[in-house]
Structure 1
């Protein structure tokens, strides 16, 4: 995947912003800022899933959760309506943060608008790049966050989340998801979610 000078500079600034996350995750004995680690994982999975991704898509994957901790979930009502409102506000917030960095790096308006379009998840299922981004988000969840999630929720909730995740993905995304390795319990719940659809 080709990397332009601007792209690398934007990545550096996105990573510096995400490295400020006070929430941390330990991987193989090393502590990382949570959103910094998430951004690296997004880039890694995108590179595997769509090695010829456009520059706009590469940028979007890297800043998809930029500074997410600044708008905590509990600042909205802890119900479905509150959750949806939080998600909508986050998308706009990420788009603003990313735009400021992209302008600083010297990207043209067209690229910045495209990154915003993708961050706002416009035309899912219709726009190929929006769909690819969604597939990558789902694959990152399934590969890195699904198994730890299992211990925190009951089976019915997990099955419901898996079914919603599956619904958002493309056939190519499904194919990649089924190649991931899961624990015995994780695989059993994936199988149940897919057979109950």
Structure 2
């Protein structure tokens, strides 16, 4: 059995995400959307938790692997439909990542741990799951919140922010309040926390 190769695992995850047909313009250049997202996840994780385990680093990188393959529109456009869609995505992300990790020589224990994290099991009880959730929330707030907020009424945004805040740890809250957010986003966050 060859020694597991972390860099190879990351490269393979990136190769899948580079196939995303959806793109995002960032710093004047078009990027495959999920590739950009996964790079932001890694960057945010390593600044938030520099000692993150390899399992956690891979889970963060693969958080949205091939997300475009299961379209939100294939589920009812209500809360139940949304939750079913999210559950299916988590299963797919865990499955694809497990296959990649097997390919590059990781053992079952390592693979099971990464799947556990991707499926966000034991939130609030498992430190690494909590760290992953914090990083997901921080990436959302820093890179996606402003556009998202512009498309919805303030009351809905305040409600979403309160739910997001509830999933985060104290350390996550502190990091969120230090993000370079625009005044409108900051005022919505303040309303949510009031």
TM > 0.5 fold call: yes
Match of 1:193 in 2: 192
Partner SS for 1:163: helix
Partner SS for 2:44: helix
Match of 1:108 in 2: 107
Q: 5+ residue gaps in structure 2?
A: none
Partner SS for 2:21: coil
Partner SS for 1:26: strand
- RMSD of aligned Cα (Å): 1.0
Partner SS for 1:32: strand
1:139-196 CA deviation, whole Å, 9 max, x = no partner? 000000001112111101110111010000000000000001211111111100000x
Match of 1:81 in 2: 80
Match of 1:17 in 2: 16
Partner SS for 2:76: coil
Q: How many angstroms apart in 2 are the aligned matches of 1:193 and 1:71?
A: 31
Partner SS for 1:165: helix
How big is the shift at 1:118? 0.4
Normalised by the length of structure 2, the TM-score is 0.97
Q: Note if contact 2:9-2:101 (Cα within 8 Å) is conserved in structure 1.
A: yes
1:109-150 CA deviation, whole Å, 9 max, x = no partner? 111000010011111000000000000000000000001112
Q: How many angstroms apart in 1 are the aligned matches of 2:183 and 2:174?
A: 19
Does 1:66 pair with 2:65? yes
1:18-71 CA deviation, whole Å, 9 max, x = no partner? 000000000111100000000000000000000000010001000000000000
Match of 2:141 in 1: 142
Normalised by the length of structure 1, the TM-score is 0.96
How big is the shift at 1:5? 7.1
Partner SS for 2:19: coil
Partner SS for 1:20: coil
Count of residues in Structure 1 that have an aligned counterpart in Structure 2: 192
How big is the shift at 1:75? 0.6
Partner SS for 1:25: strand
Match of 2:116 in 1: 117
After superposition, the Cα gap between the structure-2 partners of 1:189 and 1:183, relative to the gap in structure 1 and judged at 3 Å, is same
Q: How many angstroms apart in 1 are the aligned matches of 2:64 and 2:183?
A: 30
Does 1:42 pair with 2:18? no
